[in-house]
Structure 1
Amino acid sequence: MKIFYFTATGNSLYVAKKIGGELYSIPQMIKAGEYEFEDEAIGFVFPCHGFGMAKIVSNFIKKSKFKADYFFAIMTYGAKPFSGLRHIELVAEESGIKFNYTNEILMVDNFLSAFKMEEEIINKNPEDIDERLNKIIADITNRRKSLVTKGVASNILSKCGRGLADKLSNNFAAKRFIVNDNCTSCKICEKVCPANNIKVENKPKFLSRCETCLACIHHCPQNAIHMKSEKSKARFINQNVKLKELIDSNNQAY
């Protein structure tokens, strides 16, 4: 079984690790130029971005060829998932994928302009997350066939939200991130960026291909990077994932 994942602060990587099988980081597959895959079962694990997938996930799937008897997709989300899974179904059709199983799991949301991290961390019980995840793992192990479906209104809202998110994302970091004098030029933000969007000289310089994943902000050891509209200075990294794993997953520097 092969699982392709995209992660910023560790939630999707944790889910992928718990499901098991061979794990493939989408940014690293793009870096390696690998786009053809085959296995008995193939899955995708990704966070909800703008009621759908981040561009890097969508573009990877569109460009790739997959062959399997069983396909599944798991989406992590923090508030309202709406029809995020519908987005991956539609995109996957272009690569000849018809999903057998899709599901979603509520976890801590890292989007600082919408959530206070202190409240997110307190309100999202790890035991509830693992209970939900164990049910999903059992479904996949037993090759259950089931698709999450939402209503027409949800589908339309997700489509509009994803379109808006795509338009805003290109220069998102350059326009909305601030770096204060705490910065020590350690380059961790550059290493965890999945889009190769950050170059550090004296301070981080943000380019025009931001995925709005906020990995750079949450992993900064000096708490030096901030959003102009953030609701708190607290940060989040999934407690089951190490920084090295995120760097290994996302570092696209050449």
Structure 2
Amino acid sequence: MEIYYFTGTGNSLYIAKKIKENFIKCSLIPIETLLHLEKITPKSKEVGFVFPVYFGDISEFIKRIIKKFDFSNVEYIFVIPNCYSIAGATFINLRKILKAQNKNINYENILFMPDNAILFPIEKDYEKLKQVEKDIILVIEDIKKKTNKRLSTNYFQILQYYFMKLFSNWEFSPKKFIVNNSCISCGICKQVCPTKNIEIKDGKPIFNSNCIHCLACFHWCPKEAISMRNFTIKNRRKYHNS
């Protein structure tokens, strides 16, 4: 089995590791490491994708990489996105990518995790982390049995997705990143950025135009020197999956 994952704050890596623990032969592959390849051919007949939902959709960055996959020899595909509450158009858009190769997602499920962008009471984060410990057991059992499962489409969430897409492009523009004087020029923000969107100039990070809103830089900054000029993230406490 091969599990391709993308993680910003560690939620998806946690899920991928939990699944891997239950299979003798299982490889974990950070999906961003495949960006440079023109074609991606899995070696296993069982392939999984684990990633966060950003503003009701799978990230365009991840879509670009999945479009490079050759699924012709793959027999079982499972997709486990994680989000706070809204999967939006995630499965609809991913099904379209696979349909281009006459393939379907065999198993779809969602795990609900703490949000990395909007401030909710910390008790809600603890509740979700406790609940996901139970929910992931059921997901793993389904994958072991090669269960086929297709989630129904929630059209209310699709409407929310279009609103959230407009909102994210405005509120989470790279131009809104702020770096204060607490910055110690450690370069961690550059290291954790999956799209190599950050460069260091004169000891301070510069944010370019290839941001996918994963907020890894914000959450992993050891001095909390990075913030955003918007009403949602500026007061958000730092979060990474424990």
Partner of 1:183: 183
Q: Distance in 2 between matches of 1:95 and 1:162?
A: 29
CA separation of 1:117 and 1:10: change in aligned 2, threshold 3 A: farther
| Structure-1 residue corresponding to 2:199 | 199
Match of 1:215 in 2: 216
Do the aligned partners of 1:3 and 1:24 also contact (CA within 8 Å) in 2? yes
Stretch of structure 1 that moved more, 142-151 or 160-169: 160-169
Q: Given the alignment of the two structures, is residue 50 of structure 1 paired with residue 40 of structure 2, yes or no?
A: no
Contact 2:78 2:105 in 1 (8 A): yes
User: Does the 8 Å contact 1:64/1:95 carry over to 2?
Assistant: no
Q: Measure how far apart 1:157 and its partner are.
A: 4.2
Amino acid paired to 1:99: I
CA RMSD of aligned residues (A): 2.2
Higher RCO (CA < 8 A, seq sep 6+)? 1
Assess, with a 3 A threshold, how the Cα gap between structure 1 residues 102 and 219 changes in structure 2: closer, same or farther. same
Is the 2:16–2:50 Cα contact (8 Å) retained in structure 1? yes
What is the distance in 1 between the residues matched to 2:191 and 2:137? 31
Residue of structure 2 in register with 1:247 after alignment: none
> Residue 206 of structure 1: CA displacement?
0.4
Match of 1:86 in 2: 92
Residue 115 of structure 2 is aligned to residue 115 of structure 1: no
- TM-score, normalised relative to structure 1: 0.84
- Asked if the contact 2:38/2:68 (under 8 Å) is kept, the reply is no
Instruction: Give the Cα–Cα distance (whole angstroms) in 2 for the partners of residues 117 and 143 of structure 1.
Output: 37
**TM-score, length basis structure 2:** 0.87
Query: Would you say 1:131 and 2:134 are equivalent positions?
Result: yes
Unpaired stretches in structure 1, ≥5 consecutive residues: 240-254
Paired residues, what number? 233
Q: What CA distance in whole angstroms lies between the structure 2 residues aligned with 1:210 and 1:117?
A: 27
Change (3 A) 1:178 1:209: same
| Aligned position for 1:104 | 110
Decide whether the 8 Å contact of 2:227 with 2:234 is kept in 1: no
- SS of 2:42's equivalent? strand
For the pair 1:35 / 2:37, whether they are aligned, the reply is no
The correspondence of residues 56-75 of structure 1 with structure 2, limited to 5 A, is 56-66=61-71, 67-75=73-81
Greater fraction of residues in helix: 1
Q: 1:164 aligns with which of 152, 163, 166?
A: 166
**Code of the aligned partner of 1:140:** I
Instruction: Quickly say closer, same or farther: Cα 1:95–1:182, change in 2 above 3 A.
Output: farther
Listed as ranges, the gaps of 5+ residues in structure 2 are 21-25
Q: Distance in 1 between matches of 2:204 and 2:101?
A: 40
Matched, 1:144 2:147: yes
For residues 23-72 of structure 1, what are the alpha-carbon distances to aligned partners after superposition, in whole Å with 9 as ceiling and x for unaligned?
Answer: 11111111466622242211101111121101111111112212311111
Kept in 2, the 8 Å contact 1:51–1:161? The answer is no
* Change beyond 3 A, Cα 1:211–1:121: same
User: Do 1:27 and 1:194's aligned partners in 2 also have CA atoms closer than 8 Å?
Assistant: yes
- Comparing 207-216 with 50-59, greater Cα deviation is found at 50-59
Q: Distance in 2 between matches of 1:167 and 1:121?
A: 25
